[in-house]
Amino acid sequence: MKRAHPYFQLAEFIAPDGLTGRNCGADLPFGTIFNTLRRVRYEGDVEHLESVEVGTPRTISLKIDRIEAYRRTLEILPSGWTGLLEVSGDGLEEIRDILRNLPESDYLSIEQLP
């Protein structure tokens, strides 16, 4: 489901400050600041798949410093594209630690919520 706000589903942490994943929300311009870290688990079968919040969303402050996709540096990561975001700010260490032990059924995302 496409979301109207900036929403980036994480796949991997790339040292020292990179996050790979898929843009599942609005187009992401350079300089976007994410303020929420969420973890969800998908349960059920293909016809009745539900997402369940795991824990409480956490407050972060990560700014996109660089976007790379398809071996090019971009100003905007379009919705639906995968890419690498180089970020700075608070929350990166926590993301790195969670991604190391994330079960296959769980997904981690960074979002910009009002």
CATH code at position 106: 2.40.30
Both tokens of 103, joined, read 């079960």
Residue 2's pLDDT band (boundaries 50, 70, 90)?
Answer: low
The answer to whether residue 86 sits within a structural domain is yes
Q: Over pLDDT 70: what percentage of the chain? A: 97
The answer to whether residue 76 sits within a structural domain is yes
Predicted TM-score (pTM) of the model is 0.91
* Tens-place pLDDT, residues 20-63: 999 999 999 999 999 999 999 988 888 888 889 999 999 999 99
* Cα separation, 106 vs 100, whole angstroms: 12
The answer to whether residue 77 sits within a structural domain is yes
User: Residue 93: what pLDDT?
Assistant: 95
* Cα separation, 38 vs 102, whole angstroms: 12
**Length of the chain counted residue by residue:** 114
The answer to whether residue 2 sits within a structural domain is no
What are the CA-CA distances from residue 69 to residues 50, 74, 85, 103 (Å)? Answer: 30, 7, 9, 26
Q: Indicate the number of domains in the chain.
A: 1
The answer to whether residue 66 sits within a structural domain is yes
User: Residue 3: what pLDDT?
Assistant: 66
Q: Which of 62, 10, 18, 60 is CA-nearest to residue 40? A: 10
The answer to whether residue 1 sits within a structural domain is no
Q: Which residues face 63 on adjacent strands?
A: 33, 88
Quote the distance between the C-alpha of residue 2 and its chain's center. 13
Q: Is the pLDDT confidence value at 77 over 70?
A: yes
Sequence-distant (6+) residues with CB within 8 A of 22 are 8, 9, 11, 80, 81, 82
Domain extent for 28: 7-111
